Copies of this chain bind each other. A is one copy, B any other.
């Protein structure tokens, strides 16, 4: 007789581990315990189900219990596990509904208990029409509610991925949507400049956004929410979506005496084995390693859960698979913007002791002369000491996913920007500019590394403009039509081709930050100014691509 494998959790990592184990060792007896009615569903697809992009609920269910049975895997739905006994190799719990107690023996165990949404302890949190979006049942409830026309005003608490994806879904359903975020920016895993680009875009789509503003209470009438009280205002709300993030579900593991990591998730080694032999953890309940910093991190994602489930499945059959860790790659879609990142952002890189520099460029999906092009703004970050790529961000209607996957692979390959600049990527006019935007960014970084021209971030420009006007000036070297569209308040405008003649208009004693639309012309202008004896010359990273507010229009 084969060994007995029990799996706690039936959404992503659990079923994957079970299926892989069955292929590796067909003799193994396998039971998946799931505390809900549904199993093996696509958690990441829920926002699109709520919005109606995905029409049928059942396409989200990738495998039914019947399919598992065909492969010889038993599924026990509505079985809530309450205890793991590491010594006696048993688990025990109760059936949902009947409350009937049960227990089971295992040789191997996979803990895939996932994560749960944060539920803040504020007044009114138990009111009706306060929703979460974690399980397919949360989605059902939300879907049912938002179909109603009486729900006109929806407040989303939290400006992370789920909140932003749902903002789109709700706007498309005709709702008035407001996002309240405690941090100074939405999209806190990105740098402020890129979060600013997204904010401006969302506001154009009609989403109101309030940052640096916590939710203090929910007010209601007749048991249902009617208003959201923030630190600064009261917002009308027929429904509230709480998307303040998630926490790993580790109570079972903790009670069983398994080691909990510094991140608060279950500690595992590279083989996905917990501190107890033969007991594995995978997916959103487990921590992992950040491959750039080497530190333990907790980054719950469906793709990671699947990889970890596979690794656990191989190893619990006696195999030797490894999950080394993650790069912090993530992506989501909001309206027509594709928003993606990998590696470290500027803040994180500084915090980790790197000396990050960044290049921000326009990234088209095809040659400039090939019609129908779409563009993303692309940022690539490198370390000034080593030249190694540290991360990247991309935002826009263009191929953010492709850019970020290329950069994620560059991170896996520990590439420097010089190496990246010569990467042999697929070029033909319908697919890419002749030099991939990733390569252009790598070239900009190489120029910076070689100290030709220093960069300055828009945030710093904005701050210096408001605090140090007497020692700081901004030079705009674009053409007249561009300047008419949008310009930085207080900037001096001299087109690049007039710079040589009009350089006397600039103050050599002041620090000078130069910009154009994206950075090439301002780079040339910086070189010119340096030759003219200007000492404190900086190129504004991303130029107007990243300058999103305080716009001054000429009449």
Contact = CB atoms under 8 A, between A and B. Distances in A.
Given A23-B527, A59-B368, A326-B424, 20 more contacts: A26-B528, A26-B531, A42-B429, A48-B370, A59-B369, A60-B369, A302-B427, A303-B427, A307-B422, A307-B439, A322-B422, A331-B428, A331-B431, A333-B428, A399-B402, A402-B405, A405-B425, A406-B406, A408-B424, A412-B423
A323 B446 CA distance: 14
A401 B306 contact: no
Q: How many copies does the complex hold?
A: 2
Contact of A370 (B26, B53, B323, B331): B53
B338 A431 contact: yes
B329 A45 contact: no
Interface string A363-405: 0000111110000000000000000000000000001111011
A324 interface: yes
Interface string A48-62: 100001110001101
Given A44-B434, A53-B371, A369-B42, A342 B424 contact: yes
B329 A424 contact: yes
A434 B303 contact: yes
A155 B46 CA distance: 52
Interface stretch (A140-148, A241-249, A413-421, A464-472): A413-421
Contacts of A434: 12, 42, 44, 302-303, 306
B328 A429 contact: no
A398 to B, nearest CB: 12
Given A405-B406, A408-B425, A415 B413 contact: yes
A431 B42 contact: no
Contacts of A429: 42, 44-45, 48
Contact of A419 (B48, B328, B412): B412
A106 B435 CA distance: 29
A409 B401 contact: no
Contacts of A303: 424-425, 427, 432, 434-436
A422 B324 contact: yes
Nearest to A330: B426
A425 B42 contact: no
Given A409-B410, A424-B304, A418 B26 contact: no
A70 interface: yes
A102 interface: no
A368 B435 CA distance: 32
Given A412-B413, A527-B23, A401 B426 contact: yes
Contacts of A62: 368
Among A42, A340, A369, the one with the most B-chain Cβ atoms within 10 Å of its Cβ is A369
Contacts of A197: none
Contacts of A307: 421-422, 435, 439
Among A367, A426, A430, the one with the most B-chain Cβ atoms within 10 Å of its Cβ is A426
A128 B181 CA distance: 71
Contacts of A410: 409, 412-413
Contacts of A527: 23, 26
Interface string A304-323: 10110011000000000111
Nearest to A528: B26
Nearest to A432: B401
B426 A370 contact: no
A45 B342 contact: no
Contacts of A321: 418
B70 A331 contact: no
Contacts of A493: none
A523 B301 CA distance: 28
Contact of A408 (B45, B411, B423): B423
